Structure 1
Amino acid sequence: MMNVGPEKKDVYEDLNPHDTYFFKIGAHGLVCFHGRNYSIKQRLTAEQTSKLVSDSSFYRISTNCYVNLFKISEIRDNVVMFRDETHGIKTIHVPRRNLEQIKRLLPDAGSQRASEINQVV
């Protein structure tokens, strides 16, 4: 009898953009995805990049940087925080003019989470 452990997902092979915290678009279709414990660069076609930036899950905070609204855990001052119990906190600076729009677009995961974010800011 052979015991087989659970099959682990390889983030580098099976990257799902919706699992990332934010991504940055570089030159020649190079996109850098930042997640809880990784930064992965992938070359995407113009069509793939266009589809990604038009996805309502992502909000543009600068010319080439988009944050995943569903992964935001807190907003403090001008910093958006993505919290993970195992890997800690990853942060990104957001221009002040974009903060109010991000707050309005945050997925309503319950009135408690929305009030916590508003209290912190």
Structure 2
Amino acid sequence: MMNVGPEKKDVYDLNPHDAYFFKIGAHELVCFHGRNYSIKQRFSAEQTSKLISDSSFYRISTNCYVNLFKISEIRNNVVMFRDEIHGIKTINVPRRNLEQIKRLLPASRRGAEEVNQVV
């Protein structure tokens, strides 16, 4: 009798555009951070290149990219991703990148950001 293990399949159907931000690590590992998860996946060089060239993501450091469409607020040097159920997830952003992020934010977010700065 032959024992056969279960097929290897992804437990998570990861859509990179659902993640708040991701970090690229060594050995082709990409770590996605979302509202209630951090998932590491191996990506080929081609997949990684396609991901970092996507206009939804902006590079804030050598290996970290934020999803512009998921940003809810920017305060001081902190980008906030807000979720009504899971709360707030934050990431520090170098000051030199903040102005560019503000310019790239979708129009609906940009208006809210300007109101927050006036207050």
Q: TM-score with structure 2 length normalisation? A: 0.86
- Determine helix, strand or coil for the equivalent of 1:89: strand
Asked whether the 8 Å contact 2:102–2:110 carries over to 1, the reply is: no
Alignment coverage as a number of residue pairs: 110
Structure 1 segments unaligned to the other structure (5+ residues): 1-10
Relative to structure 1, the CA distance from residue 72 to residue 119 in structure 2 (aligned partners, 3 Å threshold; closer, same or farther) is: farther
Counterpart in the other structure of 1:55: 54
1:34 and 2:40 are equivalent in the alignment: no
Alpha-carbon distance, 1:86 to partner? 0.1
Alpha-carbon distance, 1:84 to partner? 0.1
Q: TM-score with structure 1 length normalisation? A: 0.85
CA distance in 1, matches of 2:50, 2:110: 30
Counterpart in the other structure of 1:69: 68
Deviations 1:56-90 (A, max 9, x none): 00000000000000000000000000000000000
Larger Rg: 2
Alpha-carbon distance, 1:114 to partner? 4.1
Relative to structure 1, the CA distance from residue 111 to residue 27 in structure 2 (aligned partners, 3 Å threshold; closer, same or farther) is: closer
Relative to structure 1, the CA distance from residue 117 to residue 57 in structure 2 (aligned partners, 3 Å threshold; closer, same or farther) is: farther
Structure 1 residue ranges, 4+ long, deviating more than 3 angstroms after superposition: 117-120
Relative to structure 1, the CA distance from residue 76 to residue 56 in structure 2 (aligned partners, 3 Å threshold; closer, same or farther) is: same
Counterpart in the other structure of 2:18: 19
**One-letter amino acid of the counterpart of residue 14, structure 1:** D
Asked whether the 8 Å contact 1:72–1:81 carries over to 2, the reply is: yes
Asked whether the 8 Å contact 1:79–1:91 carries over to 2, the reply is: yes
